[in-house]
Amino acid sequence: METSTEKVIRLLLTYPKRKWKQKELAEAVNCSRAFLSKLTKKLTERGIIARPYKNQIILLSFTNALNFWQTIRKLPKPTYIKTKLSQEQITKKLNMDCCITLFYSAWLRTKFMKTSTIEVYVLKDKIKNFIRHFGEESKEPTSFTVFQADKDVFLGSEKINNLNLVSIVQNYVDLIIYGGTGTRVALKLSEKYNLLGI
């Protein structure tokens, strides 16, 4: 699944104004202090964080952190769901065990490039029941895609139209690494929420 580096970056971007103690950050992402010490040195060299005091860590450049995250992020392997339900019927059945990402999430936020697809993250221990709830697994791509995730992907999630969406930064990075039209949609998301400070 995800690396501790990615979890640290997500945490810093989700709470960009927070001042972290090294111990707190290590506990929050469940990594060793030795690992975090090496990582903070690397992130300081990249201009992503600053260490104003010995044990304090603050986000220095939101944009640098976002750009770094998209270089290390990989979407999990997709699982496609074959279902007889319409997009509207699917959204009515979605619950807190999932978080919408990619194009449908961006559409709900920006109303740019309407999509007929739904892409969600589902907690890894709930994925089998989740799929059964909607239909069955398909070997061929469908308009309903599920990605297995751990709870960290749900960090900073928000509700729109009573649907659980990944955080804006998660949505942006997922779209960028998806590529193709994902990049165009990510840029629209970035414009609306001023993610790159432009």
Encode pLDDT of 88-123 as tens digits: 999 999 987 899 999 999 999 999 999 999 999 999
Domain 4-72, CATH among 3.40.190.10, 1.10.357.140, 1.10.10.10, 1.20.990.10: 1.10.10.10
Q: What dihedral angle (degrees, nearest 10) is formed by the CA atoms of 77, 83, 89, 92?
A: -40
> Residue 53 — very low, low, confident or very high, per pLDDT cuts 50/70/90?
confident
In the predicted model, is pLDDT for residue 82 greater than 60? yes
pTM of the predicted model over 0.75: yes
In the predicted model, is pLDDT for residue 25 greater than 60? yes
Residue 198's pLDDT is 47
Name the residue ranges covered by the structural domains of the chain: 4-72, 78-193
> Residue 2 — very low, low, confident or very high, per pLDDT cuts 50/70/90?
confident
| Range 46-63 average pLDDT | 93
| Range 45-66 average pLDDT | 94
> Residue 1 — very low, low, confident or very high, per pLDDT cuts 50/70/90?
low
Encode pLDDT of 129-188 as tens digits: 999 999 999 999 999 999 999 999 999 999 999 999 999 999 999 999 999 999 999 999
Q: Is 78-193 a CATH 3.30.460 domain? A: yes
The C-alpha angle 148, 152, 154, rounded to 5 degrees, equals 80
Q: How far is CA 110 from the centre of its chain?
A: 17
